[in-house]
Structure 1
Amino acid sequence: MDDDAPPPALNPEPLRAQLQRLTGAPVALLQTHISWVLLTAHLAFKLKKPVRLPFVDFSTAARRKQACLDELRLNRRLAASLYLGVLPVRGTPDAPRLGGGAPVLDHAVVMRRFPDGALMSERLCAGQLLPRHVECLAERLADFHRGAAVAAADGPFGQPAGACEAALTVLDQLDDALGVDARLQALRAWVRRQGENLAPVLRRRLDAGAVREGHGDLHLANLIVLGEGEREEATAFDCIEFDPALRWADVMADIAFTTMDLQAHGRADLAFRFLDVYLQRGGDYAGTRVLRFFQVYRALVRALVAALSPPTSSAQSAPSGPRPDYLACAQALVAAGRAPRLLITYGLSGSGKSTLAQALAAQAGAVRVRSDVERKRLFGLQALQRSAALGLDLYTPQAGRRTFEHLLACAREALLGGFAVIVDAAFLSREHRRLFEHLAWQLGVPFGILACGADAATLRERVAARDAAGSDPSEAGVAVLEKQLATAEPLEAAERACAMEVLTDQPVDVPALAARWLAQPPAA
């Protein structure tokens, strides 16, 4: 057929009937506003509807074929096991079929069907979305972003003005959909201020290669857990294939969708667990400066989708739970950005600083910067690579200065982005502690110290076990601990006044600790 002919009104029912005859089992037909999906027991066949909408044009067979090929290519980056190929649909609009020798009518993306309940939206609703799932996803996305194609600095994608315009356009559409709403007016004013303030930052990030060909639609219903037990893996599918501008964006705009959606569904703990692992894996702490802006934008997008979608019955909404109030989520994100605060850890090797800092960051909603990981990053090492095996000494005075300067820069960006920050390091030197206290003073944010302790025997036991396992970024062994015991500079009286002292050789009430930290007033 002529690929540029007017769109045929393809009837998917004959395809369903054909598949039912071939498989001998019922075939489900699902549809969205732009697709039909036929589900057999093991496969899914996805066809593009011949529609022309403000955000997508599938009005010709040529466009639909290209969209199918793009969908296959793009989604194989993250979900190669699910995306099997593109299959021609033959016959006529009223009698389409898969296979045979009739003229090609259309095309379908062929996917491996994943089990019911595999979506993160479904798992969350069922209480089965675990920290290890979001950690696995975070590592996968960090690696994906690192290898993704980079946008040209002078190209059409990722320009600072475009980010603000996109958010304002969504607000205009929400105005049309919802009518007068004071929340929208306040959010519009915030978006405009942020667009102006962040323009130089977005420009620097574009120039530095932070705008890449990402996924574009990383909400919970496009995230999935596959496999069982130790073979479980988390990834994303169904990326934006029909509009390059929606997937070519700052990498923080990509993960903003995931972190926002987790928070909107009441799981801020998992959002910050995801963020912690993503940042440790990729090191893009500078991106925290723009993350909140993109989170609010993503919340507005989901609010618009909800406003334009027909209401569902409780039975229909059960698999993924009730829709969150995304406008309320956007408001909460804006409000949270007004209360950054800084916490540094203090304690000897083996005192439980990192374990407690990780739990506290998830509970309190904070960005954690870990010295053991960042020190290695400065030397070009992965978190679990051993420096001694490569003949490197990461603990010289010069390396220490570089490390703390880097930690300071990371913390500053996240604080300016409106986040609470935990800097996870030993901080046994008063000089290092004063650097971060001064940063808090400069930015006018509360400063605190999380002082972790345990008896010497417990410290030695923990450090020896950690060293033997080789599964932690820290390379501080027993010899380092003995040196620390002899040379650590204790907290001064003024420091103890803003310190939370915790003994980690007994259970720690992390929620109470988080509440205590977040209630700390600014230093005088």
Structure 2
Amino acid sequence: MIPELDYASQKEMVRALAAALARSAPVECVETHISWVLLAGRDAYKIKKALDLGFLDFRSRAARAHYCAEELRLNRRTAPDLYLEVVGLGGTPAAPAIATAPAFDYAVRMRRFERAQVLDALAAAGRLRPEHIDALAETVARFHAGTAAAGMDEDYGSPASIAAPVRQNFVQIAALLQAPTEREQLARCEDWAETSHAALAPIFAARRQAGFVRECHGDLHLGNVVLLDGRPTPFDCLEFDPALRWDDVMSDVAFLVMDLHTRGQPQLAARLLDRYLAATGDYAGLAVLDYYLAYRAMVRAKVELLSAGRPCPAATAYLHYAFALTQPRRGGIVITHGFSGSGKTTRTAALVEQLGALRLRSDLERKRLYGYAPLARPDAAAQERLYSRSAGLATYERLAELARTVLASGRIVIVDATFLRAAERQRFRDLARETAVGFAILDCVGPPELLKQRLEQRKRAAADASDADLAVLDRQLADHDPLLPDECALAVRADAAEPLANGLAPQADAKLRCLLGLKPPE
């Protein structure tokens, strides 16, 4: 049996392996602080370094074998076509060979991909598209729904376990900052984190009890998502420390949202969060989101500072982002008004990005409330129950509850529903008054012929949660409450004949922002 390799001898072995692989294809070696990755032809071989870095210990052959197996298991949850197998490295350290026995070391064999297809590279090149974000939100939501939840006999996700790494970050960052203004910002962030943690402790515990602490990714930023076969695919899950991946699902999402924001993509950050929440319904998670956003920003600030060995612009940007989260924010309410097919959903999708808002769709929440998937098409009897008066009242009740939850997080909420009854509109106007936020009505109008045409197109596409058809539209046209004079003063008109995808015309956008108490966009 070949003795255990130390780091120096392992490094020589990797060079010898690269030379052996190069006989059949050019080889490129990519090195990180914990591994080497040999890129050879269509394959990539990831070898863990025989190091003890404090937060991980890969010095023994057994440990490297174990963590290679864990890396394969964990990453095949999201990237089964990327993570192929664990291979043994046999022969001798001077003349190593892949997949020969007995093995003196191990590697994870992966499918090679182009670095330009990683989402951080796409963002830097201006090629990260809304459709990528939508697919990523769906992927993460599906991943979180399918991964294991922490048991109550485990400490993962407890208030104490959440606080420990947050506090450690502040200690480590403080030792690396020099500028008085940055040290002051850090101190204020630390005070805010402590105060927030104390207030959120019961919520952390309740979310753990409810199953929101799961075996997540742990390092879910844009640099760990690749566009594989056209679909965003998370990879490089944290395998070496379970405590870093067994976390609240909102902490996983927060990393992506924070990363998009700090890369100058706030609109895509808003879109990602909106799509994720629409898919999962976890609006209650907004209560802890800012805490996790700040935590993830501090993690990246620490990484940048440790890498640079001194203060640097990237770390400062993360610190500024975290500090901004400590400042009070005021939300707002936008409700839509209009018949089916008038463009409410398309208009509000654009407003989510432009206002940094979150959207509640009656079509989705009605189906969620009654246990239907978004694209389910209930039979006639079920539809009669689903769209009964009592179901309608329950749906608007649920929308109001969720709107209150969004407002409590300091965010603008857009409620996408027909709002054809004055009483329904008044309820949300009262909520705005109660919570002291701005209120606006997005009045979507259009000729009946155009609305009917759109409903027919939507029915054929079968890609939307709405079940509205021509019969529904006819009933709406025959029986509705027009906007009252005082409501008209709060309304922003959006004509269905105008382009939908770009949001509102400048004059309408200015009025909407004024009603919400927002500054004009820069």
Give the TM-score normalised by structure 1.
0.91
After superposing the two structures, state which structure 1 stretch, 85-94 or 69-78, moved more.
85-94
User: Contact 2:338–2:418 at 8 Å: present in 1 too?
Assistant: yes
Aligned to 2:209: 207
Post-superposition Cα deviations, 1:221-267, rounded to whole Å, max 9, x if no partner, equal: 0011112xxxx211100001001111111111111111111111111
User: Contact 2:335–2:442 at 8 Å: present in 1 too?
Assistant: yes
- The alignment partner of 1:84 has SS state of strand
Distance 2:419 2:428 in 1: 10
Task: Compute the displacement of 1:358 (Å).
Answer: 0.7
Task: Compute the displacement of 1:507 (Å).
Answer: 3.4
Seq. identity, %: 43
Match of 2:338 among 321, 335, 347: 347
- The alignment partner of 2:425 has SS state of helix
Match of 1:398 among 390, 400, 407: 390
Structure 1 residues 516 and 96 mapped into 2: Cα distance closer, same or farther (>3 Å)? farther
Distance 1:281 1:148 in 2: 16
Distance 2:134 2:388 in 1: 32
Q: Give runs of aligned pairs for residues 121-200 of structure 1, distance below 5 A.
A: 121-179=120-178, 181-200=183-202
Residue 16 of structure 2 aligns with an amino acid whose one-letter code is P
Distance 2:484 2:467 in 1: 28
Structure 1 residues 365 and 212 mapped into 2: Cα distance closer, same or farther (>3 Å)? same
Task: Compute the displacement of 1:492 (Å).
Answer: 2.1
Task: Compute the displacement of 1:136 (Å).
Answer: 0.9
Residue 29 of structure 1 aligns with an amino acid whose one-letter code is C
Match of 2:243 among 220, 242, 245: 245
After superposing the two structures, state which structure 1 stretch, 80-89 or 46-55, moved more.
46-55
Which runs of 5 or more structure 1 residues have no equivalent in the other structure? Answer: 313-320
- The alignment partner of 2:77 has SS state of helix
Residue 30 of structure 1 aligns with an amino acid whose one-letter code is V
Distance 2:329 2:444 in 1: 28
Aligned to 1:256: 254
Structure 1 residues 4 and 495 mapped into 2: Cα distance closer, same or farther (>3 Å)? farther
Residue 212 of structure 1 aligns with an amino acid whose one-letter code is R
Distance 1:160 1:338 in 2: 25
User: Contact 1:453–1:502 at 8 Å: present in 2 too?
Assistant: yes
Distance 1:162 1:492 in 2: 53
Post-superposition Cα deviations, 1:254-286, rounded to whole Å, max 9, x if no partner, equal: 111111111111111111222222122221111
Task: Compute the displacement of 1:432 (Å).
Answer: 1.6
Match of 2:367 among 376, 379, 389: 376
Aligned to 2:449: 457
Distance 2:335 2:477 in 1: 19
Task: Compute the displacement of 1:109 (Å).
Answer: 0.6
Structure 1 residues 522 and 39 mapped into 2: Cα distance closer, same or farther (>3 Å)? closer
Residue 192 of structure 2 aligns with an amino acid whose one-letter code is W
Structure 1 residues 379 and 18 mapped into 2: Cα distance closer, same or farther (>3 Å)? same
Task: Compute the displacement of 1:515 (Å).
Answer: 5.4
Which runs of 5 or more structure 2 residues have no equivalent in the other structure? Answer: none
| Residue 112 (1) aligns with residue 111 (2) | yes
Residue 87 of structure 1 aligns with an amino acid whose one-letter code is V
Aligned to 1:300: 298
Structure 1 residues 469 and 289 mapped into 2: Cα distance closer, same or farther (>3 Å)? same
Distance 1:91 1:400 in 2: 70
Residue 217 of structure 2 aligns with an amino acid whose one-letter code is H
Task: Compute the displacement of 1:92 (Å).
Answer: 4.8
Aligned to 2:77: 77
User: Contact 1:45–1:111 at 8 Å: present in 2 too?
Assistant: yes
Aligned to 2:512: 517
| Residue 362 (1) aligns with residue 328 (2) | no
After superposing the two structures, state which structure 1 stretch, 351-360 or 476-485, moved more.
476-485
Residue 211 of structure 1 aligns with an amino acid whose one-letter code is V
After superposing the two structures, state which structure 1 stretch, 506-515 or 300-309, moved more.
506-515
| Residue 474 (1) aligns with residue 466 (2) | yes
Post-superposition Cα deviations, 1:449-477, rounded to whole Å, max 9, x if no partner, equal: 21111122222222232233322211111
| Residue 388 (1) aligns with residue 379 (2) | yes
- The alignment partner of 2:174 has SS state of helix
Match of 1:442 among 415, 434, 441: 434
Aligned to 1:61: 61
Post-superposition Cα deviations, 1:421-472, rounded to whole Å, max 9, x if no partner, equal: 1111111112222222222233222222211111222222222322333222
Residue 341 of structure 1 aligns with an amino acid whose one-letter code is G
Task: Compute the displacement of 1:521 (Å).
Answer: 5.1
After superposing the two structures, state which structure 1 stretch, 492-501 or 64-73, moved more.
492-501
Structure 1 residues 217 and 518 mapped into 2: Cα distance closer, same or farther (>3 Å)? farther
